[in-house]
Amino acid sequence: MNYHLIRYLLGCEIYSIFTENYMNKIIHKSNERGYFNHQWLETYHSFSFAGWLNRHKMNFGMLRVLNDDTIASGQGFGMHPHDNMEIITIMLEGEIKHKDSMGNEGVIRENEIQVMSAGSGIMHSEFNNSKSDLCKLLQIWIFPDERDIIPSYNQSSFISEQKTNEIVNLVGPKNSDFKLTINYLLNII
């Protein structure tokens, strides 16, 4: 994944919703995002999240969260719950260790993406897998099409698909041909 391109795009985020007859577009400038530095976590929130509340930035259509996180070595989020949310983690740098209540345990590395359909409920933890380096990631939460489904988890590498100036299909709707799928009629490319 081109880390610099992603950072550039985050500098001026553009969200679009297409409907039958028109397109809505909202531009969020990077200096308008919520920012917190918790020593172990440096994070930018595009939408109201945790301790940052902006009533004009609660979500954008089905997009609820777009966080740009940098996590200190060995630090992370202890076991915590989610339900009825499609959660996508895109690793930009480093590695994060994941463990969940479904028995999944592993490491998500740079150029890998993790998808988790929280469905009827899941517990999980995420920690920087390095004892010396920062890890950087984007975390995206999307409201699901269907509530209370059976939770699911998957991750995949996209190194072999990366080609200069070509679009790569990353995440698609369930029952699609995408490597990773979520419970929402959406393509992330």
Given a cut of 60, is residue 137 above it in pLDDT? Answer: yes
Compare 123 and 175 and report the one with higher pLDDT: 123
| C-alpha distances out from residue 147 to 11, 14, 115, 141, 143, Å | 33, 27, 16, 14, 9
pLDDT for residue 25: 66
- Average pLDDT over all residues of the chain: 82
Coil, strand or helix: which one is 66?
strand
Q: Which domains does the chain have, with CATH numbers?
A: 3-182 (2.60.120.10)
Phi and psi at residue 14, to the nearest 5°: -120, 125
pLDDT tens per residue across span 32-61:
888 889 999 998 988 877 887 788 787 777
**Are residues 153 and 104 in contact, defined by beta-carbon separation less than 8 angstroms?**
yes
What is the CB-side half-sphere exposure of residue 184 using CA atoms within 13 A?
Answer: 23
Contact yes or no for 60/15 (Cβ under 8 A): yes
